[in-house]
A and B are shown apart, each in its own frame.
Chain A
Amino acid sequence: MPDSAVIEISKVSTRFGEHVVHAELDLEVRRGEIFALVGGSGSGKSTLLREMILLQRPDSGSIRVLGVDLRDIADDAAMSLRRHWGVMFQHGGLFGSLTVLENVGLPLREHSRLDDKLIDEIAAWKLAMTGLEPEVGAQYPAELSGGMMKRASLARALALDPELLFLDEPTAGLDPNSAGEIDQLVRKLRDQFGLSIVMITHDLDLLWQVTDRVAVLAEGKVQGVGSMAELSTLDNPAIRQFFAGPRGRAAREQAEKRSETGSP
């Protein structure tokens, strides 16, 4: 099923008291694509992400992830679903009492019957896959820099070979160099393992250079979906915000220059 949807969201509404976060929102993420959710603060991107990963429930509407309806989902179905996705949290969400290697091996230890030695080897490989040095494995999360923390968190999200990867602000708080490396890493993961990736980001470089499609959220609805080039031609004020301004233009020019010279 190459073109099928991994996530189908239809008519989702969410309210916090009087405040309407989502008003009958529809969205679809296709298999094998890198999809980004953008929007101003309070536009409900994080809430939507939390609803997709079963941390929160919408008030109405349906969300289907990997073909499973999340409403009234049974415990074992939810458990099996959780093994098929990986989540990288904004601040890492690494367990402070475990070393990085133990953090990465934890999902394998919980969900398989493999030997500790084998788990450590696989975890070390996952760390290497995300570009971390082997010595980092023995450190505790508190000793890591921001970029290393994100990579370690990504390695843990990849531990069970998910089909679907959720990234919450993968480049926030990173220096441009590390952010650039994360860009490449995300693309490499998709190309190598055929992952579908859903991310929340404000990083215009990441949006221009890595994503296949982007959805702009505002006023509880999806204001537009499409590639960055398509979105930049739309005349919706909520979308224009992202492309107007010096930062938006610079990122776009850089992306266009890259595609002209033919380098990835």
Chain B
Amino acid sequence: MQALAPEPAAIAQPTPQRLAFSGCWTARGIGAIEHRLESLRVAATTIADATGIAALDTAGAWLLQKLLLRLRAAGSAVTLEGLRPDFAKLLDTVAQYVTDQPVPAPIPPTTAFERVGRSTAAAGEQAVALLSFVGESAIALARCVAHPARFRWRPILYNIRCAGFDALPIVGLLSFLLGVVVAYQGAGQLRQYGANIFVADLIGLSMLREFAPLITAIIIAGRSGSAYAAQIGTMSVTEEIDAMRTLGIAPLELLVLPKIIALLLALPLLTVFADVLGVIGGMIMAHAQLGIGYGEFLDRLVKAVSVTDYLIGVCKAPVFAGIIAVVGCFQGFRTQGGADSVGRQTTRSVVQSIFLVIVADALFSIAFSALDI
């Protein structure tokens, strides 16, 4: 074994006609002299003395061979002397390769214009692919509805547990806190007008119509949508999806439909749960900040919030569920290559599903105000 810290390579030029190499010409030893070699100038006939070279590896041999080539190309006749026979053999191996090495064609740098064009084309291609994935899933769903025996109940129930039941604590906690925050912010304003009791209107309408469906969808997009993308992505990297296809099992039926159906059922239920916890949070805060009794709060809530308001909130949930499940699975199927790609597609699935959920929510708001409900 070599010593831990090798003696670095060195090059000396006692006279213009003489070069002396010494030290360890190895990957770790040549770092110090690499830049000096570029500016090295020698006389027309030069003797290079390599007796001092203590170690030579392929990196060192490469550097030495390149130096000799450059000097010789510049018109100097350089003779190498005193190189150990085994090192000489290595240098010959390098020489053989260096001479017949093809010059790689330079890759032209991309312009900003080209990059914009490419990313636009990629975004367009992705939108079309998403649309065709939605279509394929719809066809698979229609086929299953026509033959209900093809529904796979076990994965559906499993997904309801994973995406629905297991998410209860986090959804409950966050919507409770959201109710607390909304009541706390509203209390200060309402107190100024002596309109304390209207905190029930504020909590009821905002939680039931907007906040509960939205916060639930965002939590589930981060929690389950990402899991769908990562699972399907990993399966396609390990060729499990291909195996499924060759075994005559449609991946859409086994992997995608159960997730979509499970989320379509679970998300509205989670939204109702979030409604309840959000209102409880607001109620507790109203009691603490404004001194409104629980009975009084509930009386006002029933008067202020109609069944329509409640249903508007809950009916958004299946739409959000569809977006989350479809985008998650779609991004999973687009995984190509290795572990890196799984990470990238998972990130995309979360970003895109949250983006689309909020866009859909905005469209709902416009539609409902146009319909006057």
Question: Which residues of A does B touch, CB under 8 Å?
Answer: 66-68, 76, 80, 83-84, 96-97, 108, 111-115, 118, 121-122, 124-126, 128-129, 134, 140-143, 158, 160-161, 163, 192-194
A80 neighbours in B (Cβ, 8 Å): 1, 4
Q: Check B43 for interface membership: any CB of A closer than 8 A.
A: no
Contact B28 A112 (CB under 8 A): yes
Chain A to chain B contacts (Cβ below 8 Å), 11 pairs: A66-B1, A84-B2, A97-B340, A108-B59, A125-B62, A141-B338, A142-B336, A142-B337, A158-B58, A161-B26, A161-B58
Contact B27 A134 (CB under 8 A): no
A67 to B2, CA, bound (A): 11
User: Which B residue's beta carbon lies closest to that of A128?
Assistant: B97
A76 to B4, CA, bound (A): 9
Query: Which of B28, B58, B86, B336 meets A111, CB within 8 Å?
Result: B28
In the complex, which range does the number of interface residues on chain B fall in?
20 to 34
Contact A126 B58 (CB under 8 A): yes
CB distance from A132 to the nearest CB of B (A): 13
Contact A113 B58 (CB under 8 A): no
B63 neighbours in A (Cβ, 8 Å): 118
A115 neighbours in B (Cβ, 8 Å): 34-35
CB distance from B180 to the nearest CB of A (A): 43
Contact with A along B80-101 (1 / 0, CB 8 A): 0000001001100110010001
A113 to B102, CA, bound (A): 26
User: Which A residue's beta carbon lies closest to that of B35?
Assistant: A115
Q: Check B256 for interface membership: any CB of A closer than 8 A.
A: no
CB distance from A121 to the nearest CB of B (A): 7
Query: Which of A67, A68, A112, A125 meets B97, CB within 8 Å?
Result: A125
Contact B338 A112 (CB under 8 A): no
User: Which A residue's beta carbon lies closest to that of B337?
Assistant: A142
Contact A122 B4 (CB under 8 A): no
Residues of chain B in range 66-117 having any CB-CB distance to chain A below 8 Å = 86, 89-90, 93-94, 97, 101-102, 104
A121 neighbours in B (Cβ, 8 Å): 62
CB distance from A94 to the nearest CB of B (A): 9
A65 to B4, CA, bound (A): 16
Q: Check B208 for interface membership: any CB of A closer than 8 A.
A: no
B104 neighbours in A (Cβ, 8 Å): 124, 134
User: Which B residue's beta carbon lies closest to that of A119?
Assistant: B59
Contact A125 B58 (CB under 8 A): yes
B339 neighbours in A (Cβ, 8 Å): 96
Contact B338 A161 (CB under 8 A): no
Contact A114 B34 (CB under 8 A): yes
Asked if A118 meets B93 with Cβ closer than 8 Å, knowing A96-B339, A108-B59, the reply is: no
Q: Check B242 for interface membership: any CB of A closer than 8 A.
A: no
Q: Check B124 for interface membership: any CB of A closer than 8 A.
A: no
Contact with A along B21-44 (1 / 0, CB 8 A): 000001110111011000000000
Among A83, A160, A163, A194, the most chain B Cβ lie within 10 Å of the Cβ of A160
Asked if A68 meets B34 with Cβ closer than 8 Å, knowing A112-B59, A161-B59, A192-B93, the reply is: no
**17 extra interchain contacts, Cβ-Cβ under 8 A, other than A114-B59, A163-B1, A192-B89?**
A96-B341, A97-B338, A112-B59, A114-B27, A115-B35, A118-B34, A118-B59, A122-B58, A122-B62, A124-B101, A125-B97, A128-B101, A142-B337, A142-B338, A158-B58, A161-B26, A161-B57
CB distance from A72 to the nearest CB of B (A): 18
Query: Which of B31, B35, B101 meets A112, CB within 8 Å?
Result: B31
A134 to B97, CA, bound (A): 12
Residues of chain B in range 41-62 having any CB-CB distance to chain A below 8 Å = 57-59, 62
Among A84, A108, A121, the most chain B Cβ lie within 10 Å of the Cβ of A121
Asked if A114 meets B31 with Cβ closer than 8 Å, knowing A96-B337, A96-B338, A141-B338, the reply is: yes
